[in-house]
Structure 1
C-alpha cells in the first residue's frame, strides 16, 4: 500500500472542531424527558455529546462515541496495512479486482466524512460564511496532501526533502478527501432551505427529504459510468525510470484502441489521469505489478515474468481524477447515515435503517462482482466497490453504535476513541512517518543506526526470529499501541489537531 493511503471523520470533545479528519461536533438532546431527539451541530468549541435526560431537570452528557471509535478503527487499519503490508502482502491492496483489508480504509474515511458533514451543516445561519469555511478547509487539505504525498516529504527512512516539479504527484489521500468534502458539503449548504426540520413517517421519507443530495450522487454516478464505458482509450507509452534497474530509461508502448475496458492497461480512469495530469505526475509504484499477468508470485511481489505485458511497470494513480469523482458516492452514502441519526428518534429505528441499507449495499456489490458485470476494484473505485465498502461501513458503524452508545460498552473501545479524536495527528506523525523521520534524524555513525531501527530489529525481529512476524508485532505495539497511548494523554490534556 502506498504510504498513508487513506483517512477522515467527525467532531472533537474538549478541543476545537477538527477537520480533514474531523468535521463537526454532534449533540443529541432528549430535552423534554419524553424521548424525542433533537440533534444540533455545534460551533468550533462545542463538545460532541449525547444528552440523555434521567429527570426533566437533570441532564447527563456523554459522547456519541461510535463515530470516534469508527474513525479510530480506520486509522488503525491504515497504519497496520501501510507498515505491515510489506511483510503480509495479502492484507495490502488487491493487485486489481477483489477486496482486501487495505481496500476498506479509503471508503471508510469518506463515509465518516459524510456522516460528520450532516451535523456540521445542520444549521447554516450565514450561507456565505459556510461556503467560505468549506472552501478554506478544502484548500488546507489540498496543501497538506501535496506536502505529504506529492513527493516533497521523503519520510521516514530518507532524511532528505524536496520534489522535482516535473514529477510532483498532484493526487493523493487528502486531495481525494478534499474533493469529496467540498462537493458533499456544498450540496448540503446550498439546499439548506429545502432541508426539513422533521421527516414524515415512511420507509422512503428520509430519501425524499434529502432528494437533492441523492440527485448529486446520481449525477456523479452517471458521469463516472458514462465516462468509464464510453471514453475511447488510445495507445499510450511511457519511459520507465529506476536507478540500477535493467529497464531504466526504456520506453514501453501499451496498445489499446478500445472503449469500456476495466483491465489495468486500457481503462478510462488511467487515460483521464494521463491526459489531465500527465504520466510523470502519477503514482509510480501501482499495486498491479503484483497481478498474475506481471509475476508468478501474485498476489505478493516477485520478479517480473519474462512475458510480462508492457503496462506492468507503468505509473497509475489510485487516487486519480475519475476515480475520485466516483468516491463522492461514499461521502453521499455517509451523509445519509448522518441524516438518519439526526431525524430518527430511537435506537431501534436508526439501527433498522442503517443495517437494512448496509446489508443491501453489501449484497449489491457482491452481486455485481460475482456476475462479472462490474468487478469490485479499489484502483478504479468501481460502483460495485462503492456499494460493497459503503455497506460494510454501515454495518461496522451500526455495530459500534449498538455496543458503545446503546449497550454502554465504552471502556473496551476507548483506545479507538482516543485515536479517532486525534486522527489528523496520528495520520501525519504515524501513517506518513513524520515522527519516525524525526527520530531517525538522531542516528549513530550511519543513518541506518537509529532508535527506530534498533527497536524493530532487537525488540521484535530478533526475539521472534522472524522478519515478518517481528514487523507485524512492531507495527502493533511500537506504532498503533504507542499512538493510542499518546492520543489518550492528549485527550486528557484537551489537545487536538484540527485543520
Structure 2
C-alpha cells in the first residue's frame, strides 16, 4: 500500500509548465506546413535543410527538435501530475477517488490514441505506439509513484531502465531480413548497427518480436509485420522513466516555490547530468540514442533536454515574469488535448476546405513548391483561433 497522501496545501499553478506544453503542441501544429517535404525542393539551401531536419524525425540515431515532442509530452505529464495530485488532496479527495480518476484518464488516453491511429481505416487499427496511448499505458504506475518518496522513484526509474536494457541486450541479434518490404522496413535502409548495438536494429529486435505476437492477437485486415517507423508497443515501459523524470521536476517546482534559485539550480544540474549520461551510454557502447525504441540512452538524453528547457522557461516566465510573449502558447497549453485532437482529425479536412472555398490559386502565389507552407499556415492559424475562442469562454477539454 502506498504511504499517506501528500500534505495538504494549495499549490500554485506554474505558467511555465503550460507554456512548455503549449510550445510542444504548437510544434505539432507546425507539422501542417510540411517543411520537411518542402525542403526537398530546395536541396542547396542551408536554411531549408535546417528547417527540414528539425521538422521531421531522424531516421534512427540522434535527435531533431521534432523528436523532442513526444518525450516533452511524457515529461510534462509527470510534472503536471504532481500539481494535480496536490490540488485534489487539498480539496479532500480520497485515495480511492483519485485512483479511479487516474484509471479513467489512463483508459481515455489509450482509447483516444487508438482512435486517432484508426482514422481513414476500414476497421479499428489496434496499435499502441501513438503518443497518447503510450502515455496512458504508463500513467497509472507513475500516478502511484507520485505518493512515494524520491528514493523510491529513483529506484523504480533505475529498475525500468536496467530492465529495458536487459530486454534488448539479452535478446539474440537477428540477421538482416532478405525482403525489407515484407517486414515494413524502408527501402534502401542504411541505418543498421553492427556489433553490440545490433540488438537495437530497425524491426530486428525484441520489441518487434513482441509486436508480431501481440498485435496479431487483434482483428486486422492483414497480418502485422512491423511498424514502418520502427516503433514498438513496449516503448511505453521506458517512457514511464521519462514520466518519472517529469514527476521529479514537478516535485522540485512545487517544493521550491519560495526558493526559485534552488529550483533552477536543481533543474540545470539534473538536466546536464542526464544529457551527459545519455551521451556516455551512446559513445561508451552501452546502448544507442534511438528515440523510436526509447532506449535508456534516449531517456537520459531527451530527459536532459526537457529539464533544461523547463529550467529556461521557469526562469523566464515564473521568476522573471516575462510572460507577454508566451500568451498564445499558454492558451494552447491550457487546452492541449483539444488542440492535439483537432490537429490530428481536422488536418486534411482543413486543407481541402480552404482550397475548395478560397481556390487553389491563392496558395500558389509564392510558387507550387511553397503551397504546403501557405495551406498549413492558414490551417494552423485557424486551430489557434479555435483554442483562443475556447479559452475566452473557459471551455477546456480535460480527462
Partner of 2:144: 186
Equivalents in 1 of 2:126, 2:137: separation in Å? 19
Q: 1:425 to 1:136 in 2, by over 3 A?
A: same
TM-score (norm 1): 0.65
Instruction: Give the superposition deviation at 1:329.
Output: 0.9
SS of match in other structure, 1:277: helix
Q: 1:458 aligns with which of 351, 356, 361?
A: 361
Which shifted more, 482-491 or 334-343? 482-491
CA contact (8 A) 2:169 2:199 kept: yes
Q: 1:239 to 1:367 in 2, by over 3 A?
A: closer
CA contact (8 A) 2:211 2:226 kept: no
CA contact (8 A) 1:97 1:377 kept: yes
TM-score (norm 2): 0.80
1:319-468 alignment, distance < 5 Å: 320-344=232-256, 345-430=258-343, 432=344, 434-438=345-349, 450-452=353-355, 457-460=360-363, 462-467=364-369
The CA RMSD measured in Å over matched residues stands at 3.0
Q: 1:396 to 1:237 in 2, by over 3 A?
A: same
Instruction: Give the superposition deviation at 1:274.
Output: 1.8
Q: 1:480 aligns with which of 375, 380, 384?
A: 380
Instruction: Give the superposition deviation at 1:392.
Output: 0.9
Equivalents in 2 of 1:450, 1:482: separation in Å? 12
Question: Unpaired segments of 5 or more residues in structure 2?
Answer: 1-7, 40-51, 188-193, 217-221
Equivalents in 1 of 2:25, 2:234: separation in Å? 25
Higher strand proportion (structure 1 or 2): 1
Q: 1:453 to 1:97 in 2, by over 3 A?
A: farther
CA contact (8 A) 1:273 1:321 kept: yes
The answer to whether the aligner puts 1:86 opposite 2:32 as a matched pair is: no
Instruction: Give the superposition deviation at 1:360.
Output: 1.6
Deviations 1:216-241 (A, max 9, x none): 21221122011010023556788958
CA contact (8 A) 1:70 1:397 kept: yes
Equivalents in 1 of 2:361, 2:74: separation in Å? 38
Instruction: Give the structure, 1 or 2, with the largest relative contact order (CA under 8 Å, sep 6 or more).
Output: 2
Deviations 1:112-162 (A, max 9, x none): 00001112223374222222111111111111111111x2x12xxxxxx53
Equivalents in 2 of 1:455, 1:277: separation in Å? 43
Q: 1:390 to 1:39 in 2, by over 3 A?
A: farther
- The structure with the largest alpha-carbon Rg is 1
CA contact (8 A) 1:134 1:186 kept: no
Q: 2:68 aligns with which of 90, 104, 109?
A: 104
Q: 1:456 to 1:221 in 2, by over 3 A?
A: farther
Instruction: Give the superposition deviation at 1:82.
Output: 5.9
Partner of 1:228: 168
Equivalents in 2 of 1:125, 1:498: separation in Å? 18
Q: 1:285 aligns with which of 228, 239, 253?
A: 228
CA contact (8 A) 1:456 1:471 kept: no
Equivalents in 1 of 2:82, 2:32: separation in Å? 30
The answer to whether the aligner puts 1:140 opposite 2:42 as a matched pair is: no
Q: 1:426 to 1:281 in 2, by over 3 A?
A: farther
Which shifted more, 477-486 or 133-142? 477-486
Give structure 1 regions of 4+ aligned residues with deviation exceeding 6 angstroms: 235-239
Which shifted more, 449-458 or 400-409? 449-458
Question: Unpaired segments of 5 or more residues in structure 1?
Answer: 1-37, 42-49, 51-62, 155-160, 192-208, 242-246, 248-255, 287-315, 441-448
Partner of 1:471: 372
Equivalents in 2 of 1:227, 1:260: separation in Å? 13
Higher helix proportion (structure 1 or 2): 2
Deviations 1:369-399 (A, max 9, x none): 3444322111111111111111111111111
